[in-house]
Amino acid sequence: MINIQDMSVGIAFSGGGVPAAISAACAWNAIVETYPSIMEPSNAEKVTVSTVSGGSIGYGLWVNARDRIQFTPYHYNMTLEELQQDDAPKQTDMSMDALDYLFSSKTQTVTSCDADSKRTVGNIAADLFSPIFLKQAFTKEVGSCSHWWNCIIQGVFGLLCVEKISSGDLPWLTSFAVFDESVMFERDSVTGTLLSSSAEYLHHMIVDMNSDDFGESQGQDGCRDCTRDKMLPIDALSFSSSFWASNVLTNNMINLLFNNMLNKGSTSQFIQSDKTKESVAVVMDGGVIDTTGIIGLLKQQKDHIIVFYNNNVPLATLASPISHLFGVNAATDSMNSLKGPELTQVFPSAFYPAVIRNLTDPSVGMARLEDLTVVENQVGVEPYRLSSLVIISNGKLHSFEFKDTRVHDQLNSKWPDQFSYGIPSLDANALCALNDYKVKNMMKQHLSPDRFR
């Protein structure tokens, strides 16, 4: 067991859509319960949280609205009824067809939030994909947000009565990517990674959410001229979670139809380099380079790193977010690890077979490496010795079980790592319980509860 009183710790929450958001919020809540002194000011120099995409949203929700979320702690005797509980107020009448509602002129709105009540994770997840929420977010008054995706992210936080997003007290890194739109976005037909002629123009942006420059941008609804060092938390979260942008660039027909929906700026706003020509920069999800969130922590040369890998695709299907970190090639999709293993590698390849075997084995579900060499790479990581690395998988665990056998019988066949977008309420609450279990029964094995005292 690691007992590291005088060493630094990095905790990463990966991208992976709504499931990653749920997982990050619930895992962090369990971490604070297990290591309560982690939030003390004296630990601000020791602990850094790094997030990507859905992980950014989930951690941000905990920071801003934890008192209004009813988390689901795991215990073996939990019943199906406990996991199905949904005590929050229901939305307005949903009897009309969803598409009819979206395109109708009716003005129904999501039930007003109640700052004094708590909502279950499952109830919040259900709201995110309701026609009422989507219509309200997409039809906000023109000009009220700096970009339409900011409206969506604001709407998510608004479900929990958050009007102005805070970065919290602990150091928090998030990331996004920018691509030079004057260059062809071309991918290898076999591996799915960008061709070298395109990869050179895909840049990784690490954002310090606690920077003194944050909060100085124009308006509370987002900046109009963001830079990587000066923006609002809403902008950083919007940039980090723009998972859809790479799909627009990848498909010529989709690009033709929806290019105007991309979030754009100038390259000079984000990239300070004499080699960079002035052009239009397209903002994308940070996961197109690093899905895990580990790169920012390695750049800071943290002594111990724990990664919660919560992607919404099984590792057996999409291994690239892990394999590329070890310099091992694996086919990827349009939203993950587009720079490829040669440019992304940070760890020796020899360790990868054991790592992926443990991560995909439901009787293990995690990998641990000690005294690990970090290699220099093309996204700014410098070589050093990492004392320990723990990766906790997104897959099923044999040890996560309930006395009430109805629970597993009722879970969706996609649970926990195959929900592309939405997730049913029962599955969302069970996913929250799973992440509580991961912290209190897996992370706790390797990080002493006395670490932050």
pLDDT of residue 92: 37
d(CA 333, CA 318): 8
Residue 340 has pLDDT above 60, yes or no: yes
**Residue 88: predicted pLDDT:** 41
Encode pLDDT of 150-174 as tens digits.
888 988 998 899 988 999 989 999 9
- Mean confidence (pLDDT) of the chain: 86
* Element holding 282 (H helix, E strand): strand 280-285
pLDDT in tens, 305-324: 999 999 999 999 999 999 99
What does the pLDDT look like over 14-59, one tens digit per residue?
999 999 999 999 999 999 999 998 888 887 788 999 999 999 999 9
State the pLDDT at residue 214.
60
Average pLDDT for 202-230: 69
Cβ atoms within 10 A of the Cβ of 273, count? 9
CA distance 142 to 396: 43
In DSSP terms, 282 is beta-bridged to 179, 264
The answer to whether 322 and 359 have CB atoms below 8 angstroms apart is: yes
Q: Is the pLDDT of residue 102 over 50?
A: no
Q: What are the structure tokens assigned to 85, written together?
A: 């509980």
Give the helix ranges, DSSP H, for 11-120.
17-34, 54-65, 80-84, 98-102
CA dihedral of 348, 350, 354, 355, whole degrees rounded to 10: 20
**Average pLDDT score over residue span 275-302:** 92
SS3 317: coil
* Dist. CA 269–CA 289, nearest whole Å: 19
pLDDT, position 40? 85
The answer to whether 273 and 357 are in contact (CB under 8 A) is: no
What is the predicted pLDDT for the residue at 142? 44
Q: How confident is the model at residue 95 (pLDDT cuts 50, 70, 90)?
A: very low
- Whether the per-residue pLDDT at 356 is higher than 80: the answer is yes
pLDDT value, residue 1: 53
pLDDT of 69 above 60: yes
387-420 burial, b at 16+ Cβ within 10 Å, e below that, comes to bbbbbbbbbebeebebebeebeebbeeebbbbbe
